[in-house]
Structure 1
Amino acid sequence: MTRRGLPATLAAAGAAVLAACSGRRDDRLATEEHEVVAPSGAFTAIVVADGEELRPTIRDTSGEPVWTDDLPHVERYFPGVVWESGADVLWVLSTDHGDSSVRQDGAGAWARTMGGDGMPEDIAELAR
């Protein structure tokens, strides 16, 4: 390899590494077309279109919604919707409403907590 070809080779290798990292990151995020399974395998998260609004939604294994976001999101500020890696805790990353986590309470109902307290670092990186 010549000295002239080295920068192009390094640039291509760097782009490949960045693409691989962002691809893994994208696989964790739920969208309208991409449902993401919770760590337990008992639930999935997806973003459901509701007219002009988007609603992050948690479904059980039969596909029935068990929680639907009551805060409206819009396409312009598409929310990040991602499960924690080791627990069935869904994070909704929103520039419209702020970040929040959704988890089951003691009775098994899904409840939202507004704010980023306790947000794992890997999810905080997605929020940046």
Structure 2
Amino acid sequence: MNAVATPIHNPILRYWQGRGRLAPLYWGWGVAGSIVLAILIAGPPLAGLAGLPWALGGIAVGAVYTVWILVSIWRCSGNIDSPAPLGVPREAWGMLARWLTVAWAINAGGMAIMLLQSLMYPALAR
């Protein structure tokens, strides 16, 4: 069978290769996934249930996730079913998804820095 014609059942690989639809990738894996990951990474340390090792491990996992979601959204940005959802050309939606994901990644980096600062220098967090 042709490798291109072979369906990829693993969503992580399918999106990485740019073969998935943008909407579920962006809203499900991107927005919802980022919120869940942020809660799992920052929640325990901020609640006093975990310390610096947890945060460092979580930031490493978050960095891998961020690379995956950025590349996947970039590659899937043209995979929109409708030619003009809400009257907006699909190319505009794809570009918006790309740049909003870049902005979200910058925000995640800032969150990681602030989390580390609050754990390493607790007096500054007050």
Output the TM-score relative to the length of structure 1: 0.24
User: Using CA pairs below 8 Å that are at least 6 residues apart, which structure has the higher relative contact order?
Assistant: 2
| Bigger proportion of residues as strand | 1
| Bigger proportion of residues as helix | 2
Output the TM-score relative to the length of structure 2: 0.24
